[in-house]
């Protein structure tokens, strides 16, 4: 087989904690670093499955991440706590890949990537307003910057530059907040409600890296705006005897400038900036969608008949649809791509003996649309996972885990020819975890 992949990774972190009891000042500091480098080679098989040729060779895809978080908690009033904090994160990544193999070998080289800074600070308060009534709220400001963006394609034969996008650095400051209330209506009933705003900065891949699956081409977009989220939610929780815990929450989210893979053209034809799109293929680009509305209900039932056994059943219903898309009105009213209406999960945790733990999980995800035009459907699936762990010593665990034991087809993508890209193949892994 011509397909292959390899990954090297290194994670490091350090955390310092200073605590002086409930009535004293506490502080935390965490610093971390992540280093990744992987290579991946994709191949295509002809219709008769008689021959195979490489179609993409990502021979070097390095990624680096560094960050730190510092916070301080101050007791105020009778039972209130004020938290002040700041964090910073830098991400740097690139892909170096060979592509466009028409049968005689790769003919083009692409380099795409960039840097991203995110620095923020926040202030939060949590405390009681009256007996049984608690309030929590806060405000946060973030500065973000993307820079050193590059998307360059050249001919392997002579090094001629075929594409070299001019990508300017960008930056902005965003402010968000949240406010929540929690009311203990009775010993076994709790009511809660909250309002909040937030944002998501597009990833380096969304900003800078194009990709192709089959005949479907998706272009990056360095002009993307951050996604802005505004939400309201309300919920109730009931705790009964014999370890029964039941909760349900309703939420409504407004997502402005949501990032989606928007269809610009259908092949065959030549369309900028991608060039030629084959028959049956499509040209998409990461674009901001003006407004997406999502309503949903999240419910959970937890049963703990004994201290060593817990069963949790969770269900998530989400109705997400595009409500406003001025540049692409064909999307208005359509269900959001890759957003299933129903997700159901059943989990079991059991400690059969001291030091031993068993975990099992059954998950069902309903069918969903693969693309923005709702023209391709990904089938629903059911997966079964299991893990056995043993605590060999202080801070040391041995584990054996199996994912997708039944071999369900978990489809992540389907192209114009019906080729399905699988997201989660059956796997078995073992190892150890050590904490100090």
Domains of the chain are: 4-434 (2.40.170.20)
Let me know: does 408 contact 381? Beta carbons within 8 Å.
yes
Element housing 236 (H / E):
strand 227-239
| C-alpha span between 303 and 222 (Å, rounded) | 48
255 closest CA partner among 184, 170, 318, 340: 318
Mean pLDDT of 256-272: 94
Say what the pLDDT of residue 411 is: 87
| C-alpha span between 111 and 99 (Å, rounded) | 11
SS3 for 171?
Answer: strand
Query: Would the pLDDT of 49 be above 70?
Result: no
Tell me the backbone φ, ψ of residue 66, rounded to 5 degrees. -135, 145
Let me know: does 82 contact 71? Beta carbons within 8 Å.
no
What are the contacts of 338-343 at 24+ separation with CB within 8 A? 338/368, 338/369, 338/370, 338/378, 339/294, 339/368, 339/369, 340/365, 340/366, 340/367, 340/368, 340/380, 341/317, 341/366, 341/368, 342/315, 342/316, 342/317, 342/366, 343/315, 343/316
Say what the pLDDT of residue 47 is: 63
| C-alpha span between 53 and 112 (Å, rounded) | 24
SS3 for 56?
Answer: strand
pLDDT in tens, 275-312: 888 888 899 999 999 999 999 999 999 999 999 999 99
Let me know: does 259 contact 287? Beta carbons within 8 Å.
yes
SS3 for 129?
Answer: strand
Let me know: does 387 contact 356? Beta carbons within 8 Å.
no
Say what the pLDDT of residue 21 is: 78
What are the contacts of 161-165 at 24+ separation with CB within 8 A? 162/108, 163/273, 165/222, 165/273
Residue 421: band (very low, low, confident or very high) from pLDDT cuts 50, 70, 90: confident
416: tokens are 């114009």
Query: Would the pLDDT of 390 be above 80?
Result: yes
pTM: 0.88
150: tokens are 């590059």
Q: Check residue 208 and report its DSSP letter.
A: H
| C-alpha span between 147 and 115 (Å, rounded) | 5
pLDDT in tens, 163-198: 999 999 999 999 999 999 999 999 999 999 999 999
Let me know: does 116 contact 110? Beta carbons within 8 Å.
no
Element housing 207 (H / E):
helix 204-208
367 closest CA partner among 337, 397, 405: 337
Say what the pLDDT of residue 287 is: 97
| C-alpha span between 409 and 174 (Å, rounded) | 41
Query: Would the pLDDT of 1 be above 80?
Result: no
pLDDT in tens, 396-414: 999 999 999 999 999 888 8
Tell me the backbone φ, ψ of residue 261, rounded to 5 degrees. -85, 100
Query: Would the pLDDT of 44 be above 80?
Result: no
Tell me the helices (H) and strands (E) count for the chain, helix number first.
1, 26
| C-alpha span between 264 and 288 (Å, rounded) | 13
| C-alpha span between 106 and 308 (Å, rounded) | 58
pLDDT in tens, 216-262: 899 999 999 999 999 999 999 999 987 899 999 999 999 999 999 99
* CB neighbourhood size of 6 (10 A): 9
| C-alpha span between 106 and 300 (Å, rounded) | 52
| C-alpha span between 338 and 374 (Å, rounded) | 10
Beta strands in 331-380, from DSSP E residues, in sequence order: 342-350, 356-365, 368-369, 377-378
Residues in the chain: 436
| C-alpha span between 297 and 299 (Å, rounded) | 6
| C-alpha span between 4 and 52 (Å, rounded) | 13
Say what the pLDDT of residue 31 is: 98
Residue 417: band (very low, low, confident or very high) from pLDDT cuts 50, 70, 90: low
């Amino acid at each position: 087989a011509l397909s292959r992949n390899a990954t090297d990774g290194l994670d490091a972190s350090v955390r310092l904690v200073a605590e002086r009891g409930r009535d004293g000042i506490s502080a935390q500091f965490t610093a971390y670093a992540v280093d990744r480098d992987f290579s991946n080679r994709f191949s295509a098989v002809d219709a008769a499955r008689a021959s195979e040729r490489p179609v993409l060779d990502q021979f070097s895809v390095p990624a680096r991440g560094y960050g730190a978080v510092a916070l301080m908690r101050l007791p105020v009033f009778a039972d209130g706590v004020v938290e002040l904090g700041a964090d910073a994160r830098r991400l740097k990544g690139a892909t170096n890949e060979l592509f466009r193999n028409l049968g005689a070998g790769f003919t083009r080289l692409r380099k795409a990537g960039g840097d991203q800074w995110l620095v923020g600070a926040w202030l939060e308060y949590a405390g009681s307003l009256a007996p049984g009534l608690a309030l929590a709220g806060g405000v946060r400001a973030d500065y973000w910057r993307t820079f050193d963006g590059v998307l360059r394609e050249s001919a392997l034969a002579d090094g001629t530059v075929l594409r070299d996008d001019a990508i300017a650095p960008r930056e902005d400051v965003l402010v968000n907040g949240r406010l929540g209330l929690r009311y203990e209506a009775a010993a076994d009933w709790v009511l809660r409600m909250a309002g909040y705003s937030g944002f998501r900065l597009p990833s380096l891949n969304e900003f800078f890296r194009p990709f192709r699956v089959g005949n479907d081409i998706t272009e990056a977009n360095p002009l993307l705006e951050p996604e802005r989220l505004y939400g309201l939610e309300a919920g109730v929780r009931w705790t009964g005897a014999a370890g029964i815990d039941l909760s349900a929450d309703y939420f409504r989210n407004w997502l402005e400038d949501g990032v989606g893979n928007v269809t610009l053209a259908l092949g065959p034809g030549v369309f900028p900036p991608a060039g030629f799109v084959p028959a049956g293929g499509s040209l998409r680009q990461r674009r901001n969608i003006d407004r997406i509305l999502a309503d949903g209900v999240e419910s959970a039932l937890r049963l703990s008949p004994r201290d060593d056994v817990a069963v949790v059943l969770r269900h998530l219903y989400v109705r997400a649809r595009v409500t406003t898309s001025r540049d692409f009105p064909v999307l208005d009213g359509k269900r959001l791509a890759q957003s299933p209406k129903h997700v159901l999960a059943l989990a079991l945790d059991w400690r059969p003996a001291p030091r031993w733990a068993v975990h099992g999980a059954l998950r069902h995800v309903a069918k969903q649309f693969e693309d923005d035009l709702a023209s391709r459907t990904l089938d629903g699936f059911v997966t079964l996972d299991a893990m056995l762990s043993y605590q060999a010593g202080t801070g040391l665990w041995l584990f054996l885990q199996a994912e997708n034991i039944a071999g369900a087809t978990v489809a992540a993508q389907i192209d114009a020819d019906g080729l399905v890209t699988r997201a989660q193949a059956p796997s078995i892994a073992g190892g150890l975890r050590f904490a100090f």
